[in-house]
A and B are shown apart, each in its own frame.
Chain A
Amino acid sequence: MTVAAGLGYVLISLGPALSLFVSVIAKKPFLILTLLASMLFWLISLIVLSGAWRGFLPLKSASWWPYVILIITSVGFQEATRLIFWKLYKKLEVILDAFAEEKFRSRLSWTDKMQIALAGGLGHGVAHAVFFCLSLLTPSFGPATFFVDRCSHMPLFLVSAIISLGFMIIHTFSMVIAFNAYAEGNKLNQITIPIIHILAAVMTLINLAPGGCAIGVPLLYIIGVVVLRHCWQMVWRKLTEQGNRQRNSSNIHVS
């Protein structure tokens, strides 16, 4: 429905990502590179997944259990990819620390690491939005729109934009939580993130039922809010911890 509507859909799915990008990531070139690398990573994981599933497509859309298998395998593979991403990041962190020692005589601070995690998560979220939502949006720039039978309340473009916004939030901040959990060895969080991912993906299965998207999408957003809150609490706790530690260490120096 015209260029304005098309742009609107793009902004619905990518608007918050764009503002995150402009405010946090664009200022530091390394974070932009991390974003691009993360997007490439998830693209490769998607390609591998689609290669594995190519023989079974197109799925019979009548029954829902092939989709369950699809989702479980896909999410499992993506979580494994997240682990690989973490391992690669650890190796890079060694190099970065050495570089920082040489130039600034300090190591990577915790905020630096969390910013890298944020960039990585944003890359994941943006890759998801681009490949699942934006690539379908080309017809929306034209004169008509498209409705799906299962979700006839809104145009397909709008629903997929909203869903990809929810997923972007989930992916971005679960990466931050995940990196922190791997760094601290926090087993609880390490398990929680894949569970949340699977839960969110399973929520979209509800969309398969006729009229299901009216339930599925709000549930997805509830999960997104939970992830956001969890991430906020974790960051807040760490920041206050660090603030206390710095105050204590400066006290020690003084005395």
Chain B
Amino acid sequence: MERSVLDSLGVEIIGVMSPVSICMLLVVLLVSTVSPSASDSAAAAASATTAATLVYDESPSDPPGRRLAGALLNAAAFVALVAAATTLLVVLYYYRFTGFLRNYVRFSAFFVLASMGGSILLSLLRAAGFPLDAFSALVLLLNLSAVGVPAVLSPAVPVLLRQAYLVALAVIVAAWFARLPEWTTWTLLLALALYDLAAVLCPGGPLRVLVELASSRDEELPALVYESRPASASVSHAVAALGTVELQPVEPAPPNPTMSNRNVDPDRTIVEISSLEEETSPLVPNEPSSSGSSDARQRDIAAEREREREGERNQDPSSSSSLLAPALESDAFDTSRGIRLGLGDFVFYSVLVGRAAMYDLMTVYACYLAIISGLGCTLILLSVCRHALPALPISITLGVGFYFLTRLLLEPFVVGASTSLVMF
């Protein structure tokens, strides 16, 4: 079979969409199977003290006006909290409190996995009636959480494990967020989309400042990001013959994978000289669009100093290599490190889909398609704009829009038709 252009186009996009889809699927499964039971009244009371319901504790019996006003207040309070936490993060990063940030990330990863993941594990075990005793469960949980800490931080861990733990973190946090009351969830999502837009694009926005700081220091962003390693990193013989396939650039031009200053033409790939079998995936700039910056209590996806990344580049030659064709050395330095998506984006996409799952499966499909298409649009914009872009606004807006359109318009139409077995 001769190679066709269809084989290689869009690998990185799929590499990002797959974990997002898996995360959403897991959250939908969790939300629909582990539905709140009587024992969750304690959890409900606990959720009443979350940051998102500080101002107004919603209950279904309130009139719509009060619920809307309360939800808006909740969302405003939450966004203010997130903004404050992000600003704190930027200040800490600016004054190079790297040790503190790194340890905080370690603590928060362990905490999320152990306590929040533990309660989800508990409800899963209870729902499935699985005969596991308390001690074994505790040991299992502690071990899993302990492995998770280096998995998300250290470069020496296999990529697949790291990605799996990042997705697991996102699933746990999203499952917790999905327990928020309904109106609060929707207004919160919209408010966070707006905040993300402002924080990444406005000149004074904390995330933009963070990205610029990180790129000016030639360092990684201090945050938990998911990075898709493209599968085309299979090193062919010719490349091995070329010697090093590290991520070290030949020229001293900015080697950092954050995308702000990448003057790479994303449509151009560097193809090895010797064979046209393997090709690097075109670089699509990375996206530190983590609106998932720290929320003091809930989301703990705060900061991370990825200095290890730099060490990783030196130590890890074979993975996600850039294939340097010597004759084609140019400024367009390609790495096939793939697209990077902040973990907060995972979380909020999954929260949206999880909340849609609480209504009906049709809304789930519609919201899934909306979010995926929003993500695709964002990625295409990314390849055009080539600087940090917020991943939340387009997807969340489309998702919320499609949710309400489906719920109000599509469902009576389609259900009425298909229960009469009239289809087209």
Which residues from B are CB-within-8-Å of A167?
423
Tell which of B4, B269, B409, B419 touches A51, judged by Cβ atoms closer than 8 Å: B409
Tell which of A47, A156, A159, A201 touches B424, judged by Cβ atoms closer than 8 Å: A201
Smallest distance from the beta carbon of B22 to chain A beta carbons, Å? 14
Instruction: Establish whether residues B10 and A30, one from each chain, have CB atoms under 8 Å apart when the complex forms.
Output: yes
Which residues from B are CB-within-8-Å of A160?
418, 421, 423
Instruction: Establish whether residues A36 and B410, one from each chain, have CB atoms under 8 Å apart when the complex forms.
Output: no
Is residue B253 within 8 Å, beta carbon to beta carbon, of the partner chain?
A: no
Which residues from A are CB-within-8-Å of B269?
103
Instruction: Establish whether residues A207 and B420, one from each chain, have CB atoms under 8 Å apart when the complex forms.
Output: yes
Name the segment of B51-59, B148-156, B345-353, B366-374 touching the other chain.
B366-374
Which residues from A are CB-within-8-Å of B361?
134-135, 137-138
Is residue B422 within 8 Å, beta carbon to beta carbon, of the partner chain?
A: yes
Interface string of B402-424 (1 = CB under 8 A from A): 10011011101111111111111
Instruction: Establish whether residues B376 and A135, one from each chain, have CB atoms under 8 Å apart when the complex forms.
Output: no
Instruction: Establish whether residues B414 and A29, one from each chain, have CB atoms under 8 Å apart when the complex forms.
Output: no
CB within 8 Å of A: which of B1-40?
A: 2-11, 13-14, 17
Once bound together, how far apart are the Cα atoms of A96 and B8, in whole Å? 12
Is residue B271 within 8 Å, beta carbon to beta carbon, of the partner chain?
A: yes
Is residue B279 within 8 Å, beta carbon to beta carbon, of the partner chain?
A: yes
Is residue B267 within 8 Å, beta carbon to beta carbon, of the partner chain?
A: yes
Which residues from A are CB-within-8-Å of B417?
70, 132
Once bound together, how far apart are the Cα atoms of A53 and B402, in whole Å? 17
Instruction: Establish whether residues A57 and B360, one from each chain, have CB atoms under 8 Å apart when the complex forms.
Output: no
Tell which of A28, A36, A67, A131 touches B372, judged by Cβ atoms closer than 8 Å: A36
Is residue B111 within 8 Å, beta carbon to beta carbon, of the partner chain?
A: no
Smallest distance from the beta carbon of A111 to chain B beta carbons, Å? 8
Which residues from B are CB-within-8-Å of A213?
421
Instruction: Establish whether residues B6 and A204, one from each chain, have CB atoms under 8 Å apart when the complex forms.
Output: no
Check A57/B419 contact, CB under 8 A, given A36-B372, A47-B406, A75-B424.
Answer: no
Once bound together, how far apart are the Cα atoms of A53 and B414, in whole Å? 11
Is residue A71 within 8 Å, beta carbon to beta carbon, of the partner chain?
A: yes
Instruction: Establish whether residues B267 and A99, one from each chain, have CB atoms under 8 Å apart when the complex forms.
Output: yes
A-B contact count (CB 8 A): 159
Tell which of A40, A59, A136, A205 touches B418, judged by Cβ atoms closer than 8 Å: A136
Is residue A39 within 8 Å, beta carbon to beta carbon, of the partner chain?
A: yes
Check A32/B14 contact, CB under 8 A, given A47-B406, A108-B4.
Answer: yes
Instruction: Establish whether residues A99 and B9, one from each chain, have CB atoms under 8 Å apart when the complex forms.
Output: yes
What residue in chain B is nearest A130 (Cβ atoms)?
Answer: B365
Which residues from A are CB-within-8-Å of B421?
148, 150-151, 156, 159-160, 163, 204, 207-208, 213, 216
Smallest distance from the beta carbon of B368 to chain A beta carbons, Å? 9
Is residue A115 within 8 Å, beta carbon to beta carbon, of the partner chain?
A: yes
Instruction: Establish whether residues A54 and B420, one from each chain, have CB atoms under 8 Å apart when the complex forms.
Output: no
Instruction: Establish whether residues A40 and B416, one from each chain, have CB atoms under 8 Å apart when the complex forms.
Output: no
Tell which of A32, A57, A61, A128 touches B10, judged by Cβ atoms closer than 8 Å: A32
Once bound together, how far apart are the Cα atoms of A211 and B421, in whole Å? 12
What residue in chain A is nearest B413 (Cβ atoms)?
Answer: A50
Interface string of A187-205 (1 = CB under 8 A from B): 0000000000100110011
Tell which of B3, B360, B369 touches A43, judged by Cβ atoms closer than 8 Å: B369
Is residue B276 within 8 Å, beta carbon to beta carbon, of the partner chain?
A: yes
Is residue B233 within 8 Å, beta carbon to beta carbon, of the partner chain?
A: no
Is residue A227 within 8 Å, beta carbon to beta carbon, of the partner chain?
A: no
Once bound together, how far apart are the Cα atoms of A31 and B6, in whole Å? 7
Check A67/B422 contact, CB under 8 A, given A58-B412, A103-B279, A131-B410.
Answer: yes
Tell which of A31, A37, A132 touches B414, judged by Cβ atoms closer than 8 Å: A132
Is residue B362 within 8 Å, beta carbon to beta carbon, of the partner chain?
A: yes
Is residue A172 within 8 Å, beta carbon to beta carbon, of the partner chain?
A: no
Which residues from A are CB-within-8-Å of B365?
43, 130-131, 134-135
Instruction: Establish whether residues B418 and A54, one from each chain, have CB atoms under 8 Å apart when the complex forms.
Output: no
Which residues from A are CB-within-8-Å of B422?
67, 70-71, 201, 204-205, 207-208
Which residues from B are CB-within-8-Å of A197?
424
Instruction: Establish whether residues B414 and A131, one from each chain, have CB atoms under 8 Å apart when the complex forms.
Output: yes
Instruction: Establish whether residues B424 and A59, one from each chain, have CB atoms under 8 Å apart when the complex forms.
Output: no
Check A150/B424 contact, CB under 8 A, given A29-B11, A36-B373, A108-B5.
Answer: no
Which residues from B are CB-within-8-Å of A156?
419, 421
Smallest distance from the beta carbon of B14 to chain A beta carbons, Å? 4
Check A54/B271 contact, CB under 8 A, given A135-B360, A136-B419, A150-B420.
Answer: no
Q: A74-B424, A160-B421 are in contact. List 16 more A-B contacts (CB 8 A).
A: A31-B6, A32-B14, A33-B10, A33-B13, A36-B376, A40-B372, A40-B373, A43-B369, A47-B405, A54-B408, A57-B412, A99-B9, A99-B267, A104-B4, A111-B4, A134-B361
Q: List 9 A-B contacts (CB under 8 A).
A: A29-B14, A40-B369, A54-B408, A109-B4, A112-B5, A135-B415, A137-B361, A164-B423, A204-B421
Binding site for A on B (CB under 8 A): 2-11, 13-14, 17, 267, 269, 271, 276, 279, 360-362, 365-366, 369-370, 372-373, 376, 402, 405-406, 408-410, 412-424
